[in-house]
């Protein structure tokens, strides 16, 4: 299944899902946080913390993707899962 048409289709679907989730979270943050009455350092802290969590999830997905690519390129290596 490595580098097949099905693999490419799944990769594009996951890329679209990740981009949509990031856009929705950014939109939600911009709308909800000012309505909570939070301002100044509290607002700044919440936004920075959520960005860190979001980037951590994206980095974990990238690591999984890289290890899947490595397992496709070297089929004789044992799977790490």
Give the distance, in angstroms, between the CA of residue 33 and the centroid of all CA atoms in the same chain: 22
Q: Is residue 48 part of a domain?
A: yes
Identify the residue with better confidence: 50 or 2: 50
Q: Is residue 44 part of a domain?
A: yes
Contact assessment for residue 2 and residue 72, using Cβ atoms and an 8 Å cutoff: yes
Identify the residue with better confidence: 81 or 72: 72
Q: Is residue 81 part of a domain?
A: no
Q: Most distant CA pair in the chain: distance in Å?
A: 57
Total structural domains within the chain: 1
Domain that includes residue 66, residue range: 5-73
Q: Is residue 34 part of a domain?
A: yes
> What's residue 76's pLDDT?
62
pLDDT tens digit sequence for 5-62: 787 788 788 888 888 888 888 788 777 777 777 667 777 787 788 788 888 888 888 8
Q: Is residue 18 part of a domain?
A: yes
Q: Give the integer Cα–Cα distance in Å for 1 and 23.
A: 30
Rounded average pLDDT over 62-79: 74
Q: Is residue 28 part of a domain?
A: yes
Predicted TM-score (pTM) of this structure: 0.58
pLDDT of 80 above 70: no
Token representation of residue 22: 């990031």
Token representation of residue 63: 């690591």
Q: Is residue 62 part of a domain?
A: yes
């Amino acid at each position: 299944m490595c580098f097949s048409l099905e693999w490419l289709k799944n990769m594009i679907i996951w890329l679209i899902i990740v981009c949509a989730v990031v856009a929705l979270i950014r939109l939600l943050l911009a709308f909800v946080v000012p309505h909570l009455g939070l301002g100044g350092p509290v607002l700044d802290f919440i936004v920075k913390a959520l960005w860190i969590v979001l980037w951590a999830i994206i980095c974990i997905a990238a690591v999984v993707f890289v290890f899947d690519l490595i397992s496709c390129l070297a089929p004789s290596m044992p799977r790490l899962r």
